[in-house]
Chains A and B, each alone.
Chain A
Amino acid sequence: MDIIVIIFTLTGLIFFFATTVGLLRFPDFYSRMHAAGKGDTLSSLIMLLALVFYNFHEFNLANLLVALKILLIGIFIFMASPTATHAIIDAGYESDIKPWTKKPEEES
């Protein structure tokens, strides 16, 4: 059981790291939000799964209840986080932020 927890936590950490790197290194607003939105959701879900398994080191009804609550948090993150990303990107699109393109733009 411990091994599963360690694997999940490490995977989550790797995804969080990728998210942070993407957030800092990507060239424009849209790709940054792309990294933040996807990576953040996935890594928090994986970390929560790790917490659920960690909770089962001793199986009883109380632990099962806590695990269910953690899974509920996961569901809400799964709904709310992509929506927030969508809202931010939509707001950026509405306020005419130019996407980054490969060819050098004329001075805008």
Chain B
Amino acid sequence: MIWQLDLSILSLIVVCAFATIMVKDLLSAAIIFGAYSFLMCLLWTEMGAVDVAFTEASVGAGVSTVLFIAAVHQTSRRVTPRKSGRLLSKVIGLVAALLMGLVLIIAEADFPGFASPFSPASLHLSPYYITQTLHDTNVPNIVTSVLADYRGFDTMFETAVIFTAGLAVIAILRRYKKDDSTEIPEPYTISEGYPDTIIRFVARQLVPFIQLFALYVVAHGHHSPGGGFQGGVIIGASFILLAISFDTRMIIGLMSEKSNILLGNIGVLIYAGIGFLCLLLGANFLDYSILSKVLPATDKVMARSHGMLGIEIGVAIAVMAIVISIYINIVSCGKYDKDV
């Protein structure tokens, strides 16, 4: 930790945050938000939280910026000036916000001091993880083992949250009927891709490497920063790169709506299924050590490592499918390739 670096990055982050809110042009706001995410990623790397930084770089700065820009492209770059509401509603809003802040401040007083070495978390929990993880699970990357094993239940519902987000986008945007009277924003075209030889060539050369790297991130998440979320997002991003440089229809041909939803389901099912397999074998939900009964040539410690790998693969499949499905739904106004 170098505090001068921390301070400068933090002040830049605050500037970016304000700029994102103040800028009137939505495209600029999306791009500044991407810069904000990269700065957050730098800050986390600087603090030593490489896994979180990796997630922020791939999800926050990479894919969500692309999704924002796609949404802006389909709608409007301008902020519509909001009609000033009535005074009463403004006062009610202000009072509610102040009350909420007051409650939070009161609750904060009961917390242990910020980064206090005597808080229960740093007295009992963290030392246990740091000293026992390698012995318990044979996984050198503590973050992965906490995320996927000790706190596997949390991560399962995180995956479920992403899955639900994908379902929500489909439920809101997707048009099934021909006579859907909902208005389509004016400059509606399914991107035919931009016929540019250089961009297409480079994209075609890079995509295999990107996907190989994503598989490495998923499979090597135990030993180095990375894991299911990051790997899944990177595979999804490689498909989005193809969709941008070539043609959206090509991606729909590769990953149809049906296979997307199926893969998303399968991913979440792999995660929950491994949990239920543990139940069936007579242990607690997501207690992977019991898997040594079914996996050949593994003892209880290695079984936990393999169980983590299994759920990481499930997470990666789910995240990849959901990212692609959200992107296609946004760029095609929910119509996929059909000209409704």
Q: Are A86 and B205 in contact (CB under 8 A)?
A: no
For B49, what are the chain A residues with a Cβ–Cβ distance below 8 Å?
none
Residue A28 at the chain B interface, CB threshold 8 Å: no
Q: Which residue of B lies closest to A75 (CB)?
A: B209
At the interface with chain B, which of A19-27, A36-44, A76-84, A96-104?
A76-84
Selected from A76, A79, A87, the residue in CB contact (under 8 A) with B196 is A87
Quote the shortest CB–CB distance from B43 to chain A (angstroms).
20
- Chain A residues contacting B209 (CB-CB under 8 Å) are 76
Does B199 belong to the interface (CB within 8 Å)? yes
Q: Which of B186-236 contact A (CB under 8 A)?
A: 194, 196, 198-199, 202, 205-206, 209
CA of A87 to CA of B201, assembled, Å: 12
Nearest-Cβ distance from residue B23 to partner chain A, whole angstroms: 19
Residues of the B chain whose Cβ atoms lie less than 8 Å from the Cβ of A87: 196, 199
For the complex formed, measure the closest distance between the CB of B168 and the CB atoms of chain A, giving whole angstroms.
32
Beta-carbon contact of A80 and B202 below 8 Å: yes
Q: B244 to nearest A CB, angstroms?
A: 9
Interface residue count on the A side (C-beta < 8 Å): 7
**Secondary structure of the B side of the interface?**
helix
- B: interface residue count bin: under 10
Chain B 47-71 interface 0/1 with A at a Cβ cutoff of 8 Å (1 = within): 0000000000000000000000000
Q: Give complex CA distance A83, B206 in Å.
A: 11
The smallest beta-carbon distance between A93 and chain B, in angstroms, is 11
CB nearest to B209 among chain A residues? A76
Question: Using a CB-CB cutoff of 8 Å, which residues 23-54 of chain A contact chain B?
Answer: none
Closest Cβ of chain A: how far from B319's Cβ, in Å?
A: 23
Identity of the chain B residue whose Cβ is nearest the Cβ of A87 in the assembled complex = B199
Judge whether B205 and A79 touch: CB under 8 Å.
yes
- Is there an interface contact between A90 and B206, defined as CB atoms closer than 8 Å? no
Q: Once the chains bind, are B206 and A76 in contact (CB under 8 Å)?
A: yes
Query: Which A61-92 residues have C-beta < 8 A from chain B?
Result: 76, 79-80, 83, 86-87, 90
Inter-chain CA distance A87–B206, complex, in Å, is: 15
Chain A contacts for B205, CB-based, 8 A: 79
> Could you say which residues of chain B place their CB within 8 Å of the CB of A76?
206, 209
Closest to A79 in B: B202
Q: Once the chains are docked, how many angstroms separate the CA of A76 from the CA of B206?
A: 8
Interchain CA distance A86-B206 in the complex, whole Å: 16
Closest-CB distance, B159 to chain A (whole angstroms): 29
B residues engaging A (CB < 8 A)?
Answer: 194, 196, 198-199, 202, 205-206, 209
A-B contact pairs, 17 of them (CB 8 A): A76-B206, A76-B209, A79-B202, A79-B205, A79-B206, A80-B202, A80-B206, A83-B198, A83-B199, A83-B202, A86-B196, A86-B198, A86-B199, A87-B196, A87-B199, A90-B196, A90-B199
* 6 A-B pairs with the lowest CB-CB distances in the bound complex, closest first: A83-B202, A87-B199, A86-B198, A79-B202, A83-B199, A83-B198
List the interface of chain A (C-beta within 8 A of B).
76, 79-80, 83, 86-87, 90
